[in-house]
Amino acid sequence: MGDNREGGGANWTPAEAKKSLALPVMYIFLRKAIPIFPGTSRASVSRLVQIRPTVRHDEFLPGLKCGFPTSVNWKQWGTAVVPVLKDPRFETSKPIIRDMIERNPREYAALIGEALALSFHEAGYGPLPL
């Protein structure tokens, strides 16, 4: 699950992001998790971004629990995760997305995983997973 080369959170490959970041990012969309920047001060920005839950674990979708907190290197956060978070295709206010979450939340997580893999690839963090 990513490696911590710069002391600033895990460095993820596209394959790792697809597999292990999709659920934490999905929970940000669902407002059940938030990004935290633990080392930020007036003097400097945090080199680490943690995704932490905002609800108890029993409030997660059944069968879709993930390990929290999840750490991401701040550079990867800005170049690969934020573009997915800004992508209007995943907005939970859209009826088709709400329906997908209610019927099959794994499908929603899989779409987010694919977008993360592509975003990490396009940002230069490795090849697309097969």
pLDDT, tens digit (0-9, with 9 covering 90-100), for 2-26: 444 444 567 899 999 999 999 999 9
Token digits for 112? 């987010």
Token digits for 35? 């990004």
In terms of pLDDT, which residue wins out, 81 or 66? 81
- Residue-level pLDDT at 116: 97
pTM attached to this predicted model: 0.86
Token digits for 121? 């690839």
Amino acid, single-letter form, for residue 57: H
What is the arrangement of strands in the sheet containing 70-73, beginning at the earlier edge strand?
33-36, 48-53, 70-73
Q: What is the mean pLDDT of residues 79-103?
A: 94
- Residue-level pLDDT at 9: 61
